[in-house]
Structures are given as C-alpha cells and as structure tokens.
Structure 1
Amino acid sequence: MSTERLFSLRNPWFVGAVGITAGLFVLTAVGGLIILPFAQRDVTFAGIWDAICSAAGVPQARSSANPVQPDFKISTVVITPAMLSNPSQESIGRGATLAQQCAICHGPVGVTRADSPNLAGQYAPAIYKQLKDFKSGARVNAVMTPFALPLSEQDIVDLSAYYAYLPRLPAYHPDQGRPAPRIVVNGAPLRNIASCGSCHGGLDNKTGSPWLEGQSAAYIKAQLEAFASGARRNDISQQMRNIARQMTPAEIEEAAQYYASQPPHLQRASVP
C-alpha cells in the first residue's frame, strides 16, 4: 500500500482515525476549559471566554466598571515573609494580657486539651491572618467571630507576637518505625496535591500556613472537610480548597491522626 493511498480521504481508516482524534481533542478542550471551571461552586465567571482564560491561566483584563464579585466575603490579608518577624517585648507583653481572654479555649500557655487549636509557637503571620479573617467575616466561627470583632490592628499584632513567642509543642510520633503517611511526605502529584509537610512544617513552611504538629485530630479533620465542601473559603488563592477536594477520606484521616500525635501527658483523657 502506498503512502499516498494511506493518507487519502478515500481511506476510511485514515478518515476515522482523524475524526476520533479530533473528537477527543474537542471533548477534552470543552471539559477542561469550560465544564470544569463552571463546575466550581465558589467561583463566578462573566462568561465562557472568561472561564476559558481562567482555566488556561491567562489573566483576563476586564473592561467593565463592575467586575464580577463572589457572593461571599474573601480574605484580603496580604502576607509577606518578613512581617511580624521582630516583635518588641512591649508587643509580646500586651499580647500576653490580651491572651487571658483566649485561655478558656486555647489554654493558659497556648496548649489545650480541647479540640481547639494549640497556638503556642504558632507562626505569627498564620495567627494574624486568621484573626483578620475572623474580624472581616472571611472566616466565620460562632466563638471566634465575636471575639475578633472588637480587636484593633495592634491587638491582632500583639496576640500574634505573643503566641509565636511561646515554646512550641514538640513533635511526638511514638511509632518511630512506622513511616509518615504518603500524603504528608510526598503528597499526590497526579492529583495536584503537594505534601502537607512542604507548607505546614516538617519539610518547609509557606508564609501564612500554620504549623500543624500537635494539633487536635478532630480540628484538623474538620478544617480539611470544611475546605473540601467549600464551607471554609479564606485560604490563599483557593489552594487548600483545591487540595482538600482531591483528598480521599482515608488521606484526611491519616493526616489528621499523624499531626495530632502528642506526648502522653498532653493527650486528652479517653472517655470509658
């Protein structure tokens, strides 16, 4: 058979192969550039072209005087690596006084046996961002929102400085012979999931991301599930929502249990 006949429009096999390839390309393009962007529950697009540009990573210049706004409050906090890096002793002292109001949930020295997060040694930018988001309404909690509303900018800075100054709860993983979960160390690259440790300590830290060692398993699990469902939406650039949606329930449980490992004297007493 000659090459000319093989690539001829009279050859039904050639026409069929080209048709199937073109059809798959069109289906993939429609699904990836149109259907999947519109399937996101917490993103609003002005039209199909806007969705295509967003999926392709192309910034869309809007000529309209009224750009599309989400129907929920978003975080407007800007975090930089150097912020809150050199707090004064006066700021830490003021934070210690303010933190007396926080002790009932977060413990007198930032370590608690409840399912509230431990704040001792937490990164100052992480605390700052969450308090600002609670105050603005970007993150909502029945307890934290009323507490954060009356805080001034200086109050938030002082509290962040104080808790960052306290000694951090040390990592404690009693079963040293058992490797850490893959989701913590390696992530899941095929699902676009970075390793937990690359942002939340252990391997590296991304500015604004909290240290997770020693946190309550129930708290970590609840936050991952809230990100996955869209109930919590104050993460930077939707990164945690995109990750949590791709995590399996087993991976969420593994990560929560791994980070929650605590020394015996800090573990909550089990209920018989």
Structure 2
Amino acid sequence: MSARELFTLTNRHFKTSVGITAAFFFVTAIAGFIVLPFAQPWVQFADVWDAICSAAGVPQRAASVTAPEQTKRLSGVVLTSNTLSRPSQEAIGRGATLAQRCAICHGPTGVSRADSPNLAGQYAAVIYKELHDFRTGARTNAVMSPFAVNLTDQEIADLSNYYAYLPRLPAYHPSPQLPKPNIVIFGAPMRGIAPCGACHGSLDNKTGSPWLEGQSEAYMKAQLQAFASGERRNDISQQMRNIARAMTPKETEQAAAYYASQPPDVVKAVD
C-alpha cells in the first residue's frame, strides 16, 4: 500500500484513528474550556464564551470572584515595633478599670481559670490588634465580638497597655512539662513550616505574635484548627493559615500540649 493510499479516508484504519483523535480532542476541549472553569465555585462567568476565553488565558470581562476568604473581612491593623511602646501610668490605670469587665473570662489577674487565653504580660501590640480585629469583624467570637464592638481606640490602647504591664504568672491548670517536639524547634522546612520560635520566641518575637507558654492547650489547639480551616483569618499575610494547613493533626496536638506545659517567663512586658 502506498503512502497516498495509507492516509485516505478509504483506509478504515486511518479513518478510525482520525475519528478517535477528533473525539478525544473534542472531549478534552469541552472539559478544559467549559466544564472545569464552571466547576470553580469561587469564580462566576457571564456566559460560556466568557469561560472559554478565560480558560484560554484571554478573559473578555472581569470575572466575579466570590471566594469565601475574599468576601470576608481581613485584618487592617498596622503594627510596628513602636506600637504602644511607652504607655503612661494614667493609661494603665484606665485599662485596669476597663479590665474588670474582662475578669469573668480572663481572670482578675489576667490569668484564666477556663480555656480563655491568659492576658497578663501579653505583648500590648497583640491585644491591641486582636481587639481591633474583633471590633471590625476580621475575627469573630460569640463573647468577644459584642464586647469589642463598642470599644473606642483609646479604650483598646488602654486595655492593651494594662495587660502588658501585668507580670506573667503560671497558669491555673499547668500540665507536666513536655520535651520540645520537632515541629516546635525545627519546623518542617520541606512543607514550608518555620519553627514556632521564629515568631513566638521569648528572645526573638515578631511584632503581633503572642507569647504562648502556659496558654490553654484546648485554646491553642482550637486556634490552630481554626486557622487551618480558614474559620480564623486575621493573621497577617496568611502566615498562620499557611502553616496550620500544612501541619498534621498530631503536630497540632504536640505543639499545643508543649506550650501549655511550659511556665511563662515571670517578667513585665512593659517598663
């Protein structure tokens, strides 16, 4: 059989192979240019042609993005190393008065008897940021959100300065001290997880990152899970969300248990 006869429609083998190839191309084109674009729940297209053009890299009009995290409020707080760095005694005194409303959950001395976070000695910038986020809705909680919504900027600053002024005290329900797990001291570089101490260390702390020693194990575990699921989203640049998503459930439990077992440094965070 000559080459001319081989590549003709009279050759049933050639005709079958062309038909299979055309059908495969048609099916993959439909899947790639129509089915998959419309399968993305966070993007809405005006019509089929818009989806085809978008899949081809030539969007005809702005697609409507409705991703859950993009439609929810994010933290707008700007922190620097000088945020609330030099409070006055009057500010601390005003904060002490305001803090009486916080004692039922966070304890009269800033140390919780329940699973609320301990605030005594916490960095002022941390409390300042979280209260602002509760007030704006960037972070939500059934108890904290209604409380924070009526706070003024001055009251948030005063509360932050007061709790930062208090000495860090041992927790009411300390766990036996545990050795440091690998996720805490080494992180997991292959998964993009830095050691916890890179941000939460007592010697080198990143502005806006809380100290964790002696905090409630249940609270810390719940927050890591909230970051991983996207329920909590007020971390700066999604750093905690990215880390928590990459952590295994066992690593989450180990990190929370380790920090809960550590006594805090009994120091004053504010001079």
Same fold, judged at TM 0.5 (above): yes
Q: Distance in 2 between matches of 1:156 and 1:44?
A: 38
| Larger RCO, structures 1/2 (Cα 8 Å, 6+ apart) | 2
State percent identity of aligned pairs.
68
Q: Which residue of 2 aligns with 1:154?
A: 154
What pairs with 1:100-139 in structure 2 (closer than 5 Å)?
100-139=100-139
Q: Which residue of 1 aligns with 2:3?
A: none
Q: Distance in 2 between matches of 1:173 and 1:186?
A: 23
Amino acid at match of 2:249: P
Report Cα offsets for 1:75-131 as digits up to 9, x if no partner: 100011111010000000000000000000000010012000000000000000000
Tell me the secondary structure at the aligned position of residue 169 of structure 1. coil
Amino acid at match of 1:100: Q
Tell me the secondary structure at the aligned position of residue 80 of structure 2. coil
Shift in Å, 1:184:
1.0
Structure 1 residues 224, 102: CA separation in 2 closer, same or farther (over 3 Å shift)? same
Structure 1 residues 180, 68: CA separation in 2 closer, same or farther (over 3 Å shift)? same
Q: Distance in 2 between matches of 1:209 and 1:127?
A: 10
Q: Distance in 1 between matches of 2:144 and 2:85?
A: 25
Q: Distance in 2 between matches of 1:159 and 1:102?
A: 10
Q: Which residue of 2 aligns with 1:93?
A: 93
Amino acid at match of 1:141: N
Unpaired runs of at least 5, structure 1: 1-34, 51-63, 264-272
Q: Distance in 2 between matches of 1:103 and 1:92?
A: 16
Report Cα offsets for 1:41-95 as digits up to 9, x if no partner: 9x98999xx9xxxxxxxxxxxxx9x999921111100011111010000000000
Superposition misfits of 4+ residues, deviation over 6 angstroms: 43-47, 66-69
Q: Distance in 2 between matches of 1:45 and 1:242?
A: 26
Q: Which residue of 1 aligns with 2:241?
A: 241
Amino acid at match of 2:212: L
TM-score normalized with structure 1 length? 0.70
Q: Distance in 1 between matches of 2:118 and 2:43?
A: 35
Amino acid at match of 2:102: C
Amino acid at match of 1:92: I
What pairs with 1:50-199 in structure 2 (closer than 5 Å)?
70-169=70-169, 174-175=176-177, 179-199=179-199
* C-alpha contact 1:170 1:213 (8 A) present in aligned 2: no
Q: Distance in 1 between matches of 2:98 and 2:44?
A: 42
Unpaired runs of at least 5, structure 2: 1-35, 46-50, 55-61, 264-271
Q: Distance in 2 between matches of 1:165 and 1:118?
A: 13
Query: Which one has a bigger Cα radius of gyration?
Result: 2
Tell me the secondary structure at the aligned position of residue 154 of structure 1. helix
Instruction: Give the total of aligned pairs.
Output: 211
Report Cα offsets for 1:224-272 as digits up to 9, x if no partner: 0000001001100000000000000111000100111166xxxxxxxxx
Q: Which residue of 2 aligns with 1:254?
A: 254
Tell me the secondary structure at the aligned position of residue 260 of structure 1. helix
Shift in Å, 1:179:
3.4
Q: Distance in 2 between matches of 1:131 and 1:44?
A: 33
* C-alpha contact 2:43 2:65 (8 A) present in aligned 1: no
Shift in Å, 1:169:
2.7
Amino acid at match of 2:149: L
* C-alpha contact 2:106 2:117 (8 A) present in aligned 1: yes
Shift in Å, 1:173:
7.8
Amino acid at match of 1:184: V
Q: Distance in 2 between matches of 1:67 and 1:44?
A: 5
Amino acid at match of 1:150: N
Structure 1 residues 209, 140: CA separation in 2 closer, same or farther (over 3 Å shift)? same
